[in-house]
A and B are shown apart, each in its own frame.
Chain A
Amino acid sequence: MGREVAESCLDGVMIEMVSAYCTRFYATKPELAARRIEAIGYQVGHQLSERYTMERPRFTDHLEAIKFICKDFWSELFKKQIDNLKTNHRGTFVLQDNHFRWLTRISIDPTPESTEASSNDPSVTAENKASQTTNMHLCFPCGIIRGALSNLGIPCAVTADISNLPACSFVVRIKA
């Protein structure tokens, strides 16, 4: 059992990262903020995947690598495995976590942020803001998965689907 820290440290750092990039750095360019957050995740995923596969032989195919992400990798990060894995056998995989830890622990403040000059759409509701923030948060784990797979030699694109909360599905599309 490796070293541990309080989970609130990680939560705090993640929330602040998203907040800094969305409200301080790229307040008017959510696309850029999302990309930066995803890039941070990519870095983390890449390094973790490297550490967790050091002792193993290489994976024989994509499915084996994805299964590693679903089982060992996910367990190290979230103390549970992916609950459901689906694939269309043509390079798309859907990893479903029925109770994604980071969504359940992160509280999203529904009150709108101070608008100042950054919001030019007065009809942005509090609900929109909340879902926008959630999506920003999800860029981080998407990046982690993308980085992890990239370290295993599998370039891909990863998006998150939260149409079925509290379940969260990560859609991995492997690039040919």
Chain B
Amino acid sequence: MAPLPARSGDAVFANIEHVNSELFTLTYGAIVRQLLTDLEEVEEVNKQLDQMGYNIGIRLIDEFLAKSNVSRCVDFKETAEVIAKVGFKMFLGVSATVTNWDTEGTSCSLVLEDNPLVDFVELPDTCQGLCYCNILSGVIRGALEMVSMKTEVTWVRDMLNGDDVYELRVKLLKQVLEEYPYKDDE
């Protein structure tokens, strides 16, 4: 019988090294603040956060696979559940819920009610359009790309902008089948 994802998320989180979440939150906040000062344009900052997230995601997936012992996901639905229950839990200590599947099963929403990245954060009016948590969308996109899924990850709801939850829309664009890297005739 397959293990229940919710339980294994907690177990993995308990078994890895932790750090004071304030240090993490403040570090991230200071980085965003500095990026805003240096890059000036909110769109540029959003792009950089996404890029940084992507770079983190392509490495984080290794740790995730090594420590969580999840078996290969059968389909994208399972992938989304694993991200929400094991992935988020393992790294951020909070679980997300998966909702709003489209009819083809290639697009869904990940909803977070609690987000350590934004503890104590308030956005001033001068930051309209800033996707403060854009690093998260990059992380998911990068991690999934390393397991052969090309996705588009966008923010739908953002508590820093007054919404009631954080909602990420994850859309599977292409599932690239793994190819043996060597040609037969070489």
Residues on A close to B: CB < 8 A? 2-10, 12-17, 19-20, 24-25, 36, 39-41, 43-44, 47-48, 51, 76-77
Contact = CB atoms under 8 A, between A and B. Distances in A.
B27 A6 contact: no
A44 B30 contact: yes
25 contacts: A4-B18, A4-B19, A4-B20, A5-B21, A6-B13, A6-B92, A8-B17, A9-B92, A10-B19, A10-B24, A12-B60, A13-B24, A13-B28, A16-B52, A17-B27, A20-B48, A36-B34, A39-B34, A40-B30, A40-B31, A40-B34, A43-B30, A47-B30, A48-B23, A76-B20
Contacts of A51: 22
A60 B50 CA distance: 45
State the main secondary structure of chain B at its contact with A. Answer: helix
Given A8-B16, A10-B23, A40-B30, 10 more contacts: A6-B93, A9-B24, A10-B19, A12-B59, A13-B31, A13-B52, A13-B56, A16-B56, A17-B27, A48-B26
Interface residues of B, number: 34
A17 B53 CA distance: 10
Interface in B85-140: 90-93, 116, 119, 135
